[in-house]
Structure 1
Amino acid sequence: MDLTGLFQHIVSLSLMGSLLSIGILLIKRLLRQKLSANWHFYIWFVLILRLFIPFSMPASSQLFNFFPNYQQASSLSQKLLPSSDQQAKATTLQDFNNTSSDLEPRITAGNETTKNSPIPILQRFNWNTAALIWLIGVVSVFFYILVINVLLLLKTKKLPRCNVEGVIKILEESKSKLKIRSNVLVAYDVTMRSPAVFGLFQPIILISPDIVEKLSSEELSYIFMHELSHLKRRDLLINGLTIVIQVVYWFNPILWLSLQQMKQDCEIACDAAVLASLEPKDHKKYGQTIISLLEFLSEPHWGPGTVGFIKRFNARRIIMISKFHKTPLKWAIAALSLSLIVGCSSLINPLNSTDNQQNQKNSAGQQTANNTTIPKISSDSADSNLIVYKNPSYGFSFNLPLDWKGYSIVDSQWQGMTFGGQSGESVVETGPMISIRDPRWTKQTPRQDIPIMVFTIDQWNSLQQGVFHIGAAPIGPSELGRNNSYVFALPARYNFAFPAGYQEVETIIKSNPLKTTETTQMHPDPTESLLANMMIMGQQGKVLFSDFPVKTTTIEDIEKLWGKADKTEYIPSASGQFATYSAHNIVFGINKGDQIFEVRSYDSRIKGITLKMAKQVLGTPAYDTQINGQEIIGYTTNSQFKVEMIFPQPTSSNPNPVIDHYNVLYPQGTVNTMANYPGRQW
């Protein structure tokens, strides 16, 4: 996943975490008098768990359907990845024989076709630039925390240790009461007015010598027991996890406030742990110790150390101490159940409410579509108040208001990703996305499009079953309608940037403008789609079913994810080392700078391509030769990359051989200036 995709995923988790935080706060308030201090703290772990879970589960729920939809801006100039479902060659193959490096969406109005403008700067800023800002923030906050804690660590090593026999005896007695065997030191720090414990592996209790002098032995034992309880409860580790969350989600004030509340609850839960180890008659004395310390208190430092006795909520702590009790089992179960309900709700990927009904319509006799064609577009008025866009190829129409007269159509693609794996996320499905563009749209003032994603029935069912997902958001596309062959859906969060006209588009969509008709059109051969995908991926320097592009990938990048190659050998005729990864059916060509200049794919999913079909679909190859019992044909995708397909040489018994493998080549990566070698061209 790239930086932008990672940031989009973080934003999605942040949104879900914010909702969960609010839910937990409401539960705590609702059951405030029913829950003990420990349970007020424990329910925060549902939030911690949610923020560390990197995926969402599909389910029939509409809890989050009211959020603004989001979808990455879609165009062929952006990242398009392979699948068995693409637009037919009428959409893209005319561009494959050109050497232009850009592949822009087509805008079609009536029978006219023009080039679309690049993605608006605002959209690029909203995610790419925002992701960069987020990363800078993460690094800055992390560096700040690191510096503060390194300085504190260096400081603690220089602080004088307490060797007073009476104080050490009180510490050992406190450890004995709590059954703690770890070696814990006491250090004097005149700047640390509030007692604190610091260090995961070599814990040190930091305490002002003024506190040691002015408090009685009994009061000092209460302080030590409080700090030791943090060690026993592993609060330092938990505090470290909350700091990681604060670093990653530094932009979300709701999560920051919630985690601060969690730290306060941690202190009160620690008080409860001390009280549980004391006799009831000593509870009042413990509370009086807190009161006597008020004049020494200060806000805690931000670090892995857990600082007790925080001034801001002492009143709440004293109330808890005075009413110390254990939570009845029924209230503990109620609090945990409510927290889990809210937490699990934020794990759910909401679906359209009609999904179950529509799935029943999916009969066994329906034809599976692995390919689509570019529709013939027509416009006419259904009534005096509407403009109607008709798409007979897919079998749907879309009603538009009169002020959309002169609209245009932008053809692009959606992409379906797997949920990770050994090599990270990869694309397994793609399909057409038809965007109806407002006639008032200009390059200077972009307006909201109406994007319509087209799925085959099988693709839609796979999406609902969680076989793949679209975009980083946990919210999937919402169904607009379906016919016997296709499902039409609205991308999730399509209007995330809130461009001009987004409210008008929302109003149009609420009027149920999409109407469907049955279609009997035969689907094109899926091999055409496969070849189209190969050329689209070639534009990016990639082969199908692999996310490692030539030029920008090094062998080190691959080894981090896949490990060492099964074998690596030098092939003089190919001008480089070649590393074979048999489990992935991939071979990488590596130059002397460890740069990947060639990727070869032996994937079984390309084995349906024949030599005649390749030439028929892609046209006359720019390179065609027969050598060593093979016929190699090549096509130029753009100024940087080329695609080669290797077939067995045709014979009288096998005049139309099936592809053996194919590769994407970066010729510039084979240049050797030291040897005066101009590099491979094919």
Structure 2
Amino acid sequence: MNLIYTLFYKIVQLSFMGSFIVACILLSKKLIKDRIGVKFQYAIWFILIFRLMLLISPSSNFSVYNYVPAYENTMMNIPVVYHNTEKTPINDNKDERVGKTDTSNGVPLESLKKSELKSFDPIALAKKVIPFIWVCGVFIIGSIIFIINTLFFNRIKKCPHINDPSVLTILDDCKNLMKLSKNICLVKTNVVKTPCVLNIIKPIILIPEYSLEKFNLADLKYILLHELAHVKRKDIFINYIVSLLCIIYWFNPLIWYGFHKMREDREICCDSLALSFLRDDEVKSYGFSIIKIAEISLWAPCLPAVAGIINKNSKIKRRIEMIKVFKKNSYRLPAFALVVLLLAGIAFLTEATESKASSTEEMAGSTDETSTHQIVDKIDYPFVDDEDAVGKWETVDFVREIEDFKVNVTSWQGGLYLKSINLLPNGQMTQPVASGITSDETTPIDWMTWTKGYIIHHGDKTAGKYAIKEIDGSKYMFWEWKSGDYTIRGMKPSYYVLKQVTGSTTEEVPNSAEETSTQRIVDKIDYPFVNDEDAVGKWETVDFVEEIEDFKVNEVSWQGDPYLLSINLLPNGQMTQPVAVGITSDETTPVDWMTWTKGYIIHHGNKTAGKYTIKEIDGSKYMFWEWKSGDYTIRGMKPSYYVFKKVK
């Protein structure tokens, strides 16, 4: 299901880009009207086709999307994929040591309220339901078109071939004129009301019975030339592609309208190609034949396999006007038009540059990298000293806006996960103190640094701004907390409020693992140790799945780089520091805040006990471990599973 969610939001992005292309093409055609050649008017629609088909395209400074504000907003919202919203090992429970253990351990969702924790999340529900509706729409519309095509072909199979020597002679003459060597059959039928061609490999031209009665041989020649023009230009193949795109983008009427206008231009282009093979004195007769067919029927089946000479609501007047002023070289595509198409392709088929596709600069500097799952900040700031920032800071509150903070009034209702931070000179920091995690506050770490105005997490690639204010004689730091709500969901960060501590920076900070707010789910964790020989050893992450049954060897379900990289279970229920992005471990020294017993891996800081299951698959052992992040402890969601493979 993760792939469906990711694909759907990419389709939404491409739908927006396609709509913009349709609008630009229609506007340009209206402004320049018929001052451009018919072949160029048709060819420019292929930019729309390629744009809708390209799931991945390079970024460019020449991309028009650099200058479309609505596009930037779309890009910021689209990465909010449902599987990341509910279960995200990347940011929500990232670091058991840092205090990034989720947006949960004291860190709320954007505007999370006490009453909201017990209610369902309508946005998350919508993000789950809408992709499902899209898939259903694709299946239903695709099935309907397939059934109609099948019934249509079955009826055509029963129709007789035309064996009239005079008609077949005209067909051969037209083929020779257009240098077509394909074997093309003529079929007489009442299934269609206008002449049309179908099939890609073995084309069939359908001739309504009335055509043989009401049209003379000259009219049949013009009809056959038009249909052979469809064959020569590979219009049936393009028809299939357009129909497939209409199915995929069924929810966007502007794209459907764009392809409708493309079909109109296709018919004029075919007229132009057919006329290029006629003598000047035959051009007028060709136009009269078009009018004669239009008087009898304005309908042809709108099917991927069919291209007709007359389509419903086609612009007959426009076609006749083109025929009236037709010139022999009007079908050619001049070099200037090719250059314009090339430049338009670069402008519309490339993505906006990453620096302009993000609007997060006000919060943390310009974003220099983005992925389909994660916002990544600019973090390569040079160090600038700030004497006011150096020292130890203890957490006193968590607020949505800096203005919300009031001394002696606690805004956040619940236990705060982050307890304190210690900023050393020269941009270094010690291990932050959090629930279940202590620090000697003297040894610098390499995955968190600071510079004037920013605290940088190199593992998450986030730069949270800080502001220092003096209130009632004390210094307070307001630090943007860029959890998964920001990096995954694109929400505006809230602020940790920290008060500067006077005195020793090595003052012992109480372990608040026993502090549990009424809002958190707390598991039973006082299990006695029971040995499990199969569990002892090192396990490396290979996937992250919603259900154990979703895992398949050699297929990665989780689209992205998982945060947790490996765990090491020692004998007697001990564990070493888990290895994660930005966090290494000597894998020999046990930690006291994580243990295990047969069937469970226990986090004493979070008070969670995640079940594990070991299975042997294709000769290798795999462990499936319930990942009890804030989605479980705060939001009450069902945990997903980290999948580990045992290292031999």
Given candidates 319, 323, 335, the residue that maps to 1:317 is: 319
Aligned to 2:274: 274
- Contact preservation (8 Å) 1:44, 1:262: yes
- Contact preservation (8 Å) 1:36, 1:324: no
Please give the alpha-carbon distance, in whole angstroms, between the structure 1 residues aligned to 2:94 and 2:245: 40
Aligned to 1:642: 612
User: Is 1:339 equivalent to 2:344 in the alignment?
Assistant: yes
- Relative to structure 1, the CA distance from residue 365 to residue 130 in structure 2 (aligned partners, 3 Å threshold; closer, same or farther) is same
User: Is 1:66 equivalent to 2:70 in the alignment?
Assistant: yes
Alignment of 1:556-635 (within 5 A): 558=553, 608-613=584-589, 615-616=590-591, 618-623=593-598, 635=602
Question: 3-state SS of the aligned residue for 2:205?
Answer: strand
1:623 Cα offset (Å) = 4.4
- Relative to structure 1, the CA distance from residue 230 to residue 320 in structure 2 (aligned partners, 3 Å threshold; closer, same or farther) is same
Aligned to 1:302: 302
1:115 Cα offset (Å) = 9.6
- Contact preservation (8 Å) 2:399, 2:411: no
Question: 3-state SS of the aligned residue for 1:186?
Answer: strand
Please give the alpha-carbon distance, in whole angstroms, between the structure 2 residues aligned to 1:159 and 1:638: 72
Query: What's the TM-score, normalizing by structure 1?
Result: 0.59
1:539-589 per-position Cα deviation (integer Å, ceiling 9, x unaligned) = xxx96352456622364xx46779xxxxxxxxxxxxxxxxxxxxxx99xxx
Given candidates 71, 75, 81, the residue that maps to 2:89 is: 81
Please give the alpha-carbon distance, in whole angstroms, between the structure 1 residues aligned to 2:238 and 2:126: 33
Aligned to 1:590: none
In structure 1, list runs of 5 or more residues that go unmatched: 96-102, 368-374, 380-387, 391-396, 413-452, 462-478, 497-504, 523-537, 563-584, 587-601, 625-632, 645-660, 668-681
Please give the alpha-carbon distance, in whole angstroms, between the structure 1 residues aligned to 2:413 and 2:166: 84
1:332 Cα offset (Å) = 1.2
- Relative to structure 1, the CA distance from residue 235 to residue 560 in structure 2 (aligned partners, 3 Å threshold; closer, same or farther) is farther
- Relative to structure 1, the CA distance from residue 136 to residue 401 in structure 2 (aligned partners, 3 Å threshold; closer, same or farther) is farther
- Contact preservation (8 Å) 1:197, 1:206: yes
User: Is 1:551 equivalent to 2:559 in the alignment?
Assistant: no
1:274-317 per-position Cα deviation (integer Å, ceiling 9, x unaligned) = 11222233222211111111122233322221122225211111
Question: 3-state SS of the aligned residue for 1:665?
Answer: strand
Please give the alpha-carbon distance, in whole angstroms, between the structure 1 residues aligned to 2:287 and 2:152: 30
Aligned to 1:351: 357
Aligned to 1:178: 178
1:357 Cα offset (Å) = 11
Question: 3-state SS of the aligned residue for 1:89?
Answer: coil
1:108 Cα offset (Å) = 6.1
- Relative to structure 1, the CA distance from residue 76 to residue 271 in structure 2 (aligned partners, 3 Å threshold; closer, same or farther) is closer
Question: Aligned partner of 2:243: which letter?
Answer: I
- Relative to structure 1, the CA distance from residue 175 to residue 362 in structure 2 (aligned partners, 3 Å threshold; closer, same or farther) is same
Please give the alpha-carbon distance, in whole angstroms, between the structure 2 residues aligned to 1:191 and 1:267: 21
Question: 3-state SS of the aligned residue for 1:621?
Answer: strand
Question: Aligned partner of 1:247: which letter?
Answer: I
1:2 Cα offset (Å) = 2.6
Aligned to 1:649: none
1:212 Cα offset (Å) = 1.7
- Relative to structure 1, the CA distance from residue 616 to residue 330 in structure 2 (aligned partners, 3 Å threshold; closer, same or farther) is same
1:632-665 per-position Cα deviation (integer Å, ceiling 9, x unaligned) = x955897874178xxxxxxxxxxxxxxxx99523
Aligned to 2:380: 362
Aligned to 2:624: 665
- Relative to structure 1, the CA distance from residue 256 to residue 516 in structure 2 (aligned partners, 3 Å threshold; closer, same or farther) is farther
Question: 3-state SS of the aligned residue for 1:290?
Answer: helix
Aligned to 1:17: 18
Please give the alpha-carbon distance, in whole angstroms, between the structure 1 residues aligned to 2:40 and 2:265: 9
In structure 2, list runs of 5 or more residues that go unmatched: 369-376, 386-392, 418-453, 468-478, 507-534, 558-564, 567-577, 615-619, 627-645
- Contact preservation (8 Å) 1:17, 1:47: yes
Please give the alpha-carbon distance, in whole angstroms, between the structure 2 residues aligned to 1:361 and 1:495: 18
- Relative to structure 1, the CA distance from residue 75 to residue 291 in structure 2 (aligned partners, 3 Å threshold; closer, same or farther) is closer
Question: Aligned partner of 2:541: which letter?
Answer: L
Question: 3-state SS of the aligned residue for 2:285?
Answer: helix
Question: 3-state SS of the aligned residue for 1:620?
Answer: strand
Please give the alpha-carbon distance, in whole angstroms, between the structure 2 residues aligned to 1:84 and 1:122: 19
- Contact preservation (8 Å) 1:37, 1:272: yes
Question: Aligned partner of 1:145: which letter?
Answer: I
Aligned to 1:209: 209
Aligned to 2:261: 261
Please give the alpha-carbon distance, in whole angstroms, between the structure 2 residues aligned to 1:360 and 1:548: 30
Please give the alpha-carbon distance, in whole angstroms, between the structure 2 residues aligned to 1:75 and 1:151: 40
1:574-625 per-position Cα deviation (integer Å, ceiling 9, x unaligned) = xxxxxxxxxxx99xxxxxxxxxxxxxxx999899434454x3154332249x
Aligned to 1:530: none
1:409 Cα offset (Å) = 8.7
Please give the alpha-carbon distance, in whole angstroms, between the structure 1 residues aligned to 2:174 and 2:546: 61
Alignment of 1:478-489 (within 5 A): none
- Relative to structure 1, the CA distance from residue 265 to residue 377 in structure 2 (aligned partners, 3 Å threshold; closer, same or farther) is farther
Aligned to 1:51: 52
1:517 Cα offset (Å) = 14
1:223 Cα offset (Å) = 0.5
Alignment of 1:418-433 (within 5 A): none
1:472-491 per-position Cα deviation (integer Å, ceiling 9, x unaligned) = xxxxxxx99689x9996995
Please give the alpha-carbon distance, in whole angstroms, between the structure 1 residues aligned to 2:84 and 2:145: 42
Query: What's the TM-score, normalizing by structure 2?
Result: 0.61
Please give the alpha-carbon distance, in whole angstroms, between the structure 2 residues aligned to 1:357 and 1:9: 20
- Relative to structure 1, the CA distance from residue 66 to residue 191 in structure 2 (aligned partners, 3 Å threshold; closer, same or farther) is closer
- Relative to structure 1, the CA distance from residue 337 to residue 662 in structure 2 (aligned partners, 3 Å threshold; closer, same or farther) is same
User: Is 1:128 equivalent to 2:128 in the alignment?
Assistant: yes
- Relative to structure 1, the CA distance from residue 121 to residue 608 in structure 2 (aligned partners, 3 Å threshold; closer, same or farther) is closer
Please give the alpha-carbon distance, in whole angstroms, between the structure 2 residues aligned to 1:172 and 1:258: 36
Question: 3-state SS of the aligned residue for 1:187?
Answer: strand
Question: 3-state SS of the aligned residue for 2:276?
Answer: helix
- Contact preservation (8 Å) 1:287, 1:318: yes
Question: Aligned partner of 1:230: which letter?
Answer: H
Please give the alpha-carbon distance, in whole angstroms, between the structure 1 residues aligned to 2:165 and 2:215: 16
Question: Aligned partner of 1:609: which letter?
Answer: S
- Relative to structure 1, the CA distance from residue 643 to residue 76 in structure 2 (aligned partners, 3 Å threshold; closer, same or farther) is farther
- Contact preservation (8 Å) 1:299, 1:310: yes
- Relative to structure 1, the CA distance from residue 328 to residue 221 in structure 2 (aligned partners, 3 Å threshold; closer, same or farther) is closer
Please give the alpha-carbon distance, in whole angstroms, between the structure 1 residues aligned to 2:270 and 2:579: 58
Question: Aligned partner of 1:320: which letter?
Answer: M
Q: CA RMSD in A?
A: 5.2
Comparing 252-261 with 213-222, greater Cα deviation is found at 213-222
1:27 Cα offset (Å) = 2.3
Higher RCO by CA contacts (8 Å cutoff, separation 6 or greater): 1
Aligned to 2:420: none
1:329 Cα offset (Å) = 3.5
- Relative to structure 1, the CA distance from residue 108 to residue 352 in structure 2 (aligned partners, 3 Å threshold; closer, same or farther) is closer
Question: Aligned partner of 1:620: which letter?
Answer: T
- Contact preservation (8 Å) 2:159, 2:187: yes
Question: 3-state SS of the aligned residue for 1:301?
Answer: coil
1:190-220 per-position Cα deviation (integer Å, ceiling 9, x unaligned) = 2311111111222111111111221121111
Alignment of 1:322-471 (within 5 A): 322-325=324-327, 326=330, 329=334, 332-333=337-338, 335-337=340-342, 339-340=344-345, 342-344=347-349, 348-349=353-354, 350-352=356-358, 362=380, 377-378=395-396, 389=399, 398-399=402-403, 408=412, 456=457, 460=461
- Contact preservation (8 Å) 2:162, 2:187: yes
Alignment of 1:216-227 (within 5 A): 216-227=216-227
- Contact preservation (8 Å) 2:480, 2:496: no
Question: Aligned partner of 1:39: which letter?
Answer: F
